[in-house]
Copies of this chain bind each other. A is one copy, B any other.
Amino acid sequence: MNYVGIDVGGTNVKIALVNEKGQIVKKASLKTKSTRDAIHVIGDIADGVIELTQGFEYEAIGVGCPGAIDSEAGIVEYSPNLYWKNVALAKGISERTGKPVKISNDANVAALGETKFGAGKSFSDTALLTLGTGLGGGFVVNGKLFEGYKSMGTEIGHTVLKENGVQCSCGRKGCMEVYTSATALIRETLFAMQTDKNSMMWDHCGKDLNKVDGRTAFACARKNDASALKVVDAYIRSLAEGILNVVAVFRSQAVILGGGVSGEREYLTDQLQKYVDERRYGGKDSLRTVILTAQLGNDAGVIGAASLVM
């Protein structure tokens, strides 16, 4: 049987027809044009579904959407990216397509997709940490999405790792996000370069600070540049401490890394694994959490959305 998965973003809406094995049968994309009234955006999404699924049978529709979502009511309570407040997204799509619709937070939905059909497919309990502009978190507990009360939880990026540390955009100081996002990594790379004018990182970016990104420090650390190694070591230690916090609370069998920084793959996960192995609660006799890299890439959103209704 087939299912439709929709990944609503501030710029684009991705729609895919997904089979029960989590494989994409057919996909499409449309511009969100989110400055319009919600009703027009929803109309376009429903039309997109109808067009994509012509000639196909499918069971139901799952949607991942950024912001605070009341999954049970099918309502987007608040989504700054879309300029939405209390939008009945599930009902809107269901009325136009005649199919049952479930909605949930986009980061959570991606975690479900990665767990059911990606890196986490042999596990029931996982955490997906997305190392991007911010730090996104999604949790699967006993095969189901864990979202906290009214789907408002799992803001792991905004748990404090260093009391009274670096100011976070959320208002608190020392959040995990300000040490483990790609943004944090770039900030620390720039600091390190200002301090060490002889670092290899200057050549790596062609002496153009605008070309520094989340890969700069990792690339030079792999070549043993001392300043780059310092940046990467501190980044990995903070990320590992955050992962250990997740593990203490959830005891996830696997922690899966997504987002730009996860592209460092084994160089990153091997070091994290070692740190976590040495320090996990309960010691060596207790469950070992495996650190993995996400596999579904940009498709995690639509596949995860479809898996909401499987």
- Enumerate chain A interface residues (CB-CB to B < 8 A): 68, 78, 124-125, 137, 141-142, 146, 148-150, 152-156, 158-163, 170-172, 237-238, 241, 244-245, 248-253, 278-279, 281-283, 285-287
Asked whether, in the complex, the Cβ of A160 is within 8 Å of the Cβ of B245, the reply is yes
A153 near B283 (CB under 8 angstroms)?
Answer: no
Report whether B149 and A250 are in contact in the complex, using a CB–CB cutoff of 8 Å: yes
A108 to chain B minimum Cβ distance, whole angstroms, is 12
Q: For residue A231, give the distance in angstroms from its CB to the closest CB of chain B.
A: 16
Quick one: closest B residue to A234, CB to CB?
B163
Q: Would A250 and B148 be within 8 Å (CB), given that A160-B244, A282-B68 are in contact?
A: yes
Known: A125-B149, A149-B253, A152-B287. Contact between A248 and B158, CB under 8 A? yes
Most chain B beta-carbon contacts within 10 A, residue among A68, A148, A252: A148
Q: Would A153 and B241 be within 8 Å (CB), given that A161-B160, A171-B283 are in contact? A: no
Kindly list chain B residues whose C-beta atoms are within 8 Å of the C-beta of A171.
278-279, 283
Q: Cβ of A249: which chain B residues have Cβ within 8 Å of it?
A: 137, 148, 153-156, 159, 249
Question: Closest residue to A175 on the B side, CB-wise?
Answer: B248
Residues of B near A250 (CB, < 8 A) are: 148-149, 153
Q: How far is the CB of A277 from chain B (nearest CB, A)?
A: 12
Q: Give the 3 A-B CB pairs with smallest separation, nearest first.
A: A125-B149, A148-B251, A159-B245
How far, in angstroms, from A44 to B19 measured CA to CA in the complex? 56
C-alpha spacing A238/B152, complex, angstroms = 23
- A68-B282, A172-B241 given. 11 additional CB < 8 A pairs? A141-B148, A148-B251, A149-B250, A149-B287, A150-B287, A153-B249, A159-B249, A160-B245, A161-B163, A162-B163, A163-B238
Chain B residues near A158 (CB-CB < 8 A): 248, 281
Contact (Cβ within 8 A) B162 A251? no
Chain B residues with Cβ under 8 A from A238's Cβ? 163
